[in-house]
Chain A
Amino acid sequence: MALDGIFDTTIRLLEKNLDLRAKNQNLISANLANAETPGYIPTTLSFEGELKEALKNRGDGSVLITNPRHIPLKGQAAGLDNVQGKLVETPDSSIGKDGNGVELENEMGKLAENQILYNATIQIVSKQFESLKTAIKGSI
């Protein structure tokens, strides 16, 4: 990170968040496309906890991971760049006769939630850039 001063952890966190939300979007649309496929079990990406852990384990004397190829120390959570999220299966509570576990309402809810949080993150990124611009200009 050459520009550690300007592009700090916030940007990296937002960037990671966008990346994982985009992946989640792919999974949700796959679940919706397979809403009628026999034997299909929906999956979703769970990363919020992992992201929080990665953020917490910074600056408390633990070894910094500055390159994605660095191996984290034992007991230390992975760095922000290494957060990949975990695939979890989220089958419907009552799977029908054809073995399909997709619940359309549930998936639509997840789709909306994911989209809103993605758009929120985008907005924060753009505000972040705007305040940088203000700082560079020196006048409001």
Chain B
Amino acid sequence: MDFFTSMDVSSSGMTAERTRMNLISSNIANANSTRTPEGGPYKRKDPVFAAVPATAGFNAVLDRNGNANLKKVEVTQIREDQSPPRLQYDPTHPDADAQGYVALPNVNVIEEMADMVSATRAYEANVTAAQAAKSMATKTLDLLR
């Protein structure tokens, strides 16, 4: 019985969702940033999730617990959205081009808010799974009383 593997998998999910949440906050905070160190307006950032084997190394080779099919989640890459920036006519803006248009970040705040709700729910689901594993382990320990 390995409830620690279960908790490990759940915490990988929490880490991934937290990374996503951080990126969403960054997108919302920079929804109107026209300057970045790389030049040009801020670009929307998005995590790329990938399922990776939960057990690695020696234990995976032995596979005593039959966990070969168990997958945890990992953020493998942070992608920059390459869609074109929003253009707004504002000739007085210091970053306006020759035609008087300002390039604003390609962030849609409403989309980010919806994404944030989805990330929160997914995070909560992982917390519930970890709590379930913990309570099951505690119940098992209670057999010793």
Contact = CB atoms under 8 A, between A and B. Distances in A.
Interface stretch (A67-75, A122-130, A132-140): A122-130
B51 A23 contact: no
B94 to A, nearest CB: 39
Contact of B10 (A19, A29, A39): A29
A104 B121 contact: yes
A104 to B, nearest CB: 6
Contacts of A35: 13, 122, 125
B126 A33 contact: yes
Contact of B1 (A19, A37, A104): A19
B54 A30 contact: yes
A26 B63 CA distance: 14
B101 interface: no
A107 B6 contact: no
Interface residues of B, number: 41
A27 B69 contact: yes
Contacts of A39: 51
Contacts, number: 112
Contact of A87 (B69, B73, B121, B136): B69
B3 interface: yes
Contacts of A104: 121-122, 125
A37 B49 contact: yes
Q: How large is the interface on A (under 10, 10 to 19, 20 to 34, 35 or more residues)?
A: 35 or more
A22 interface: yes
B130 interface: yes
Interface of A: 18-19, 22-23, 25-30, 32-40, 43, 84, 87, 104, 107-108, 111-112, 114-115, 118-119, 122, 125-126, 129
11 contacts: A22-B6, A23-B65, A32-B129, A33-B71, A34-B49, A36-B20, A36-B122, A37-B73, A104-B122, A125-B143, A129-B143
Interface of B: 1-3, 5-7, 9-10, 12-13, 16-17, 20, 49-51, 54, 65-67, 69-73, 118, 121-122, 125-126, 128-130, 132-133, 135-136, 139-140, 142-143
